Amino acid sequence: MASRGAVAYRTEVWSDWCPGCGDFGILAAMQKAFAELELDPANTVVVSGIGCSSKTPHFINVNGVHTIHGRGIAFATGIKLANPRLTVVVNGGDGDLLGIGVAHFVALGRRNIDVTVILHNNQVYGLTKGQASPTLRKGEKVKSIPVPNIQDAVNPIALAIASGYTFVARGYSLWVDHLKELIKKAIQHKGAAFIDVLQPCVTYNDIYTAEYYRERLYKLEEEPGWDPIVRDPSEDEEKKAAAIKKAEEWGSRIPVGIFYVNPLKDTFEDRLQKRNPYYNSAKPPAFEEISSGDGKPIIGPDEFRRIFSKYIVSVRRHG
Partner 1 sequence: MKDVYLLVGGAQGSGLETTAQVLAPAFASLGYGVLANREYYSNIVGRHSYIHMRISASGEPKALSYPVDFVGAMDAESVFTHWDDIREGGYLLYDLGVARTRLIQIASMEPELKNRLMEAYKKHGIQPTVQGVVDYLEKEKGVKVIGVSFTAVFNMLVKKFGVARAQAQRFRSSILIGAIVGLTGLDPQAVDLGLERRFAGRKRLVEINRELIRAVAEEVSSEHGTPLKLDQPEVTEGEYVVATGNDIVAMAKIVGGVKYQSYYPITPASDESVFLEAHEHLTVDGKDLGNIVVLQTEDEIAAISSAIGAALTGARSSTATSGPGFSLMVEALGWAGKNDVPVVITYYQRGGPSTGLPTRGSQSDLLYSLYASHGEFPRIILSSGDHLEAFYDAIEAYNLAEKFQMPVIHLLDKFLANMIASMPFPEWSKIRIERGKVLFEAPRGPWKRFPQDEPIADRPVLGSGAWTWYTGDEHNEWGHITEDPINRTIMYERRWKKLEIADREIPVEFRAKLYGDAGADFLLVGWGSVKIVALEALKELEAKGFKGAYLHLRMFSPFPAKYVEGVLSRFDPERVIAVEHNYLGQAARIVTMETGFKFRKFILKWSGRPMYVMELVRGVIDVLEGGKSRVVLTYGK
- Nearest Cα to 107, choosing from 66, 78, 137, 83? 78
User: Does 226 sit near partner 1 (CB under 8 A)?
Assistant: no
User: Does 162 sit near partner 1 (CB under 8 A)?
Assistant: no
Footprint on residues 27-56 left by partner 1 (CB under 8 A): 41-45, 47, 50, 55
* Identity of the amino acid at 77: T
Footprint on residues 99-118 left by partner 1 (CB under 8 A): 103-104, 106-107
Cα–Cα dist 286/235, whole Å: 38
Cα–Cα dist 98/133, whole Å: 8
User: Does 287 sit near partner 1 (CB under 8 A)?
Assistant: yes
Footprint on residues 68-87 left by partner 1 (CB under 8 A): 68, 70-71, 74-83, 85-86
- Nearest Cα to 115, choosing from 151, 74, 152, 87? 87
CB of residue 185 to partner 1, shortest distance in Å:
24
Q: What element of type H or E holds 198?
A: strand 193-198
Q: DSSP string spanning 204-230?
A: T-SSS-HHHHHHHEEEGGGSTT---B-
CB of residue 87 to partner 1, shortest distance in Å:
10
At 12 the three-state DSSP class reads coil
Pick 222 or 294: Cβ nearer partner 1 = 294
Pick 116 or 205: Cβ nearer partner 1 = 116
Footprint on residues 289-308 left by partner 1 (CB under 8 A): 289-291, 295-304, 306-308
Pick one of 5, 37, 58, 254: the residue that binds partner 1 (CB under 8 A). 58
